[in-house]
């Protein structure tokens, strides 16, 4: 993405340097300061939405990839696909199930992190 590139960063630095160099010309006036303050506020405001959109797309892609892995693995529970759509209560319940599986595996001397549970007990 162009806005996250080195060119965008260099452009921002150039704008700030130009703004700084014009300070003596405008006698470091309130208007001169307001220009950079307003500009940075607008850019920050817009970037919040851009970053959120990018994170949402990345999360969606990661979920789809994980769903495909779950679907493709023999022994994996297909019920785990689309977990992000479950309620908080359902997620908490599932988390407790996996915690019990992990503790049982530790008691049995197995590494629970390296194995997918077939069914939590």
Digit-coded pLDDT (tens) for 5-47: 899 899 999 999 999 999 999 999 999 999 999 999 999 999 9
70 Cβ neighbours under 8 A, 6+ residues apart? 76, 77, 78, 80, 81
| pLDDT number for residue 71 | 87
| pLDDT number for residue 18 | 95
The Cα-based distances of 33 to 13, 16, 27 in angstroms read 16, 11, 10
| pLDDT number for residue 111 | 58
Q: What are phi and psi of 102, to 5 degrees?
A: -60, -45
Span 73-85, average pLDDT: 84
Both tokens of residue 88? Answer: 């908080």
| pLDDT number for residue 5 | 87
Residue 116 CA to residue 97 CA, distance in Å, equals: 12
pTM of the model: 0.59
The chain-wide mean pLDDT, for the chain, equals: 87
Residue 60 CA to residue 54 CA, distance in Å, equals: 10
| pLDDT number for residue 118 | 54
Structural domain boundaries in the chain:
2-85
| pLDDT number for residue 38 | 96
Q: What percent of the chain has pLDDT over 70?
A: 89
Q: How confident is the model at residue 121 (pLDDT cuts 50, 70, 90)?
A: very low
The Cα-based distances of 41 to 5, 14, 38, 46, 114 in angstroms read 20, 17, 5, 9, 47
Give the closest residue to 19 by CA, choosing from 41, 39, 48: 39
């Amino acid at each position: 993405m162009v806005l996250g590139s080195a060119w965008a960063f260099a452009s921002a630095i150039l704008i700030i340097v130009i703004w700084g160099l014009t300070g003596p010309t405008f006698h470091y006036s309130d208007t001169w300061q307001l220009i950079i303050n307003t500009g940075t506020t607008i850019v920050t405001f817009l970037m919040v939405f851009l970053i959120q959109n990018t994170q949402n797309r990345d999360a969606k892609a990661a979920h789809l990839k994980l769903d495909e892995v779950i679907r493709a693995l023999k022994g994996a529970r297909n019920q785990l696909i689309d977990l992000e759509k479950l309620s908080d209560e359902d997620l908490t319940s599932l988390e407790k199930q996996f915690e019990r599986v992990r503790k049982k595996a530790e008691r049995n001397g197995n590494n629970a992190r390296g194995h997918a549970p077939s069914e939590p007990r």
